[in-house]
């Protein structure tokens, strides 16, 4: 069958692999926003599962909604690029201006879909996060983004790169200030193992199965 594609949305998403993060810093291993988005989605989903099973107050969240929002949280950077956090949040004027740019980027991306899909994907690309449930989803996605950044700093530091030492400390402070028990749970139970060797990970698994 001869396929002639009319819509470029998913081909554009594939180009996330060409947008690198941490552009102002020396990286021992370059990280792009495509792999970062996967990491954030995995962590955000885990936070939602922990929330629902251990800390369900004030209400449970839709785990797969959290997963989807996290997976798409940086897609607009295909158009805007990865603006360093210190610049993005330097002051309220820049912050609001960047939000408008992100919204326009989301509209541009969603226009690459058939009309019957555009509204649903626009919500993923530029979420409204309405109501109490929506705000909890937003907090979990944001927390996952911070945790993923912290893990990146850990791995760079472990490889001998001191460039990320200060960023690691600053990001940890932002994680502590989130003040969600599910975040503290993940940081305590899962994050330290990112520093383990493969043998240590396998050994720990065997210990758990005894």
The pTM assigned to this predicted structure is 0.91
pLDDT in tens, 146-184: 999 999 999 999 999 999 999 999 999 999 999 999 999
Within-domain flag for 137 = yes
At residue 70, the pLDDT reads: 98
More confident: 23 or 124: 124
1 is a domain residue = no
Count of domains for the chain:
1
Nearest 10 degrees: Cα torsion 49, 52, 56, 60: 110
Question: What's the DSSP call for residue 192?
Answer: G
Q: What is the CATH number of the domain that holds 62?
A: 1.10.3210.10
User: 32 φ, ψ to 5°?
Assistant: -100, 165
Evaluate whether 92 touches 100 at the Cβ level (below 8 Å).
no
Asked if residue 2 is part of any domain, the answer here is: no
Instruction: Evaluate whether residue 78 is within a structural domain.
Output: yes
What is the model's pLDDT at position 206? 58
pLDDT of residue 88: 66
In the chain, % of residues over pLDDT 90: 80
In the 3-class helix/strand/coil scheme, how is 124-166 assigned residue by residue? HHCCCCCHHHHHHHHHHHHHHHHHHHHHHHHHHHHCCCHHHHH
The string of pLDDT tens digits covering residues 69-116 is 999 999 999 998 876 666 666 678 877 887 899 999 999 999 999 999
Residue 185 lies in a domain: yes
Q: Answer yes or no: is 63 within a domain.
A: yes
Q: Domain residues for 147?
A: 9-209
């Amino acid at each position: 069958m001869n396929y002639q594609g009319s819509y470029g949305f998913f081909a554009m998403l594939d180009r996330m692999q060409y947008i690198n993060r941490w552009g102002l810093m020396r990286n021992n291993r370059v990280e792009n926003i495509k792999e970062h988005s996967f990491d954030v989605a995995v962590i955000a989903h885990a936070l939602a599962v922990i929330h629902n099973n251990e800390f369900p107050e004030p209400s449970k969240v839709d785990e797969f909604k959290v997963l989807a929002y996290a997976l798409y949280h940086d897609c607009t950077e295909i158009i805007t690029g990865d603006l360093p956090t210190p610049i993005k949040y330097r002051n309220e004027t820049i912050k609001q201006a960047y939000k408008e740019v992100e919204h326009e980027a989301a509209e541009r991306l969603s226009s690459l879909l058939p009309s019957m899909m555009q509204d649903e994907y626009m919500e993923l690309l530029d979420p409204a996060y309405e109501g109490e449930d929506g705000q909890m989803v937003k907090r979990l996605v944001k927390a996952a983004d911070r945790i993923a950044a912290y893990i990146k700093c850990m791995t760079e530091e472990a490889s001998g790169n001191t460039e990320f030492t200060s960023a690691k400390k600053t990001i940890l402070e932002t994680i502590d200030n989130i003040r969600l028990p599910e975040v503290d749970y993940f940081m305590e139970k899962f994050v330290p193992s990112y520093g383990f060797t493969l043998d240590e990970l396998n050994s720990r698994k065997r210990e758990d199965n005894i």
